[in-house]
Amino acid sequence: MGSVIVTAGDPLGVGPEVLVKAIKRLGLPVTVIGSIRSLKKACESCGLDMDFTPVDEPTPLRDSVPVIDIDDFGVEGSGPTPEGGLHSYLCIRKASELILGGKAEALVTGPVSKEAVNMAGIKFTGHTELLAELAGGRKTKMMLFLDELRVSHVTTHVALKDVPRLLTEEEIIVTVELTSSFLGKLGEPGKIGVSSLNPHAGEGGLFGDEEIRIIRPAIEKLIDRGYEVEGPIPADTIFLRAMRGEFKAVVAMYHDQGHIPIKLLGFNRAVNVTLGLPYVRTSVDHGTAYDIAGKCLADEGSMVNAIRLAFRLLGC
């Protein structure tokens, strides 16, 4: 069975508690990167009896959860803090170091706060961007995954007003290529639907011409290269068509265009997948939820599915 490491996320968020609940529920061999102190607090909140053993690298243990213990600086309270942000960042860097060094095959990440990491004086726009940088500047894309709907994104964490400027044929082509590769690894190849940017796919240029200038030419090139792809398709119908089985995946042009349907369908089930890294990386598809942290109210479903998908992609 492949080696999987899991970061617990911000110690003041719901990451530690959804992780301990997921580990208890699944019983799969993972090594945690996080704070043993925060994991123990999560167990107390949830009434769970679990043992944790400090380790230096991924190590399978029979009766205890192996943890690469990263200092959480004794952080207390609630909400984003510089200490919580620094801890989160150090965990991500350690995970990247281990997996790029061949010590593990897959990475599952818990929720972190971009605000908290930036409060620590570290420029951070998200896991996807940092992991790509640490892997040598790989071209990566974000996919949100449900069994019934998979959505990749051409752009993600940018202002909406900047999206038209950032859309290029190359970015669309790369997104489709990475999505197609993922579907192949999943054992579910098939047609990919590409969304429009503008209402009604631009209505022949009346509501914007990105479909004419950028999206359609990209699709034509992909078809010439042998990809099974269709578009641009209006965003108000493409997800319905995908749910009816016409597409194995959808490519969205921007963050909310892809996130809204996924979170509407399966907020507590969806998994974030980074496409293009030299290893498997999945993540929960929710944030730190500071307002309910420490109360054992957070649903562990997304973490459960993120761990399951990581093992599935490893062929386990």
The residue-averaged pLDDT of 260-277 equals: 95
The residue-averaged pLDDT of 206-230 equals: 97
Asked whether the predicted pLDDT for residue 315 surpasses 90, the reply is no
pLDDT tens profile 62-104: 899 999 999 999 888 889 999 999 999 999 999 999 999 999 9
Tell me what pLDDT residue 114 has: 96
pLDDT tens profile 108-119: 999 999 999 999
Tell me what pLDDT residue 2 has: 64
Q: Mean of the per-residue pLDDT values for the chain?
A: 95
Residues making up the chain, counted from first to last: 316
- Phi first, then psi: give them for residue 164, nearest 5 degrees: -55, -35
Asked whether the predicted pLDDT for residue 128 surpasses 90, the reply is no
Tokens of 123: 């420029």
Domains and CATH numbers, the chain: 1-138+277-316 (3.40.718.10), 147-265 (3.40.718.10)
Tell me what pLDDT residue 155 has: 96
Find the distance separating the first CA and the last CA of the chain, reported in whole Å: 6
Tell me what pLDDT residue 1 has: 54
Tell me what pLDDT residue 265 has: 96
pLDDT tens profile 28-61: 999 999 999 999 999 999 999 999 999 999 998 9
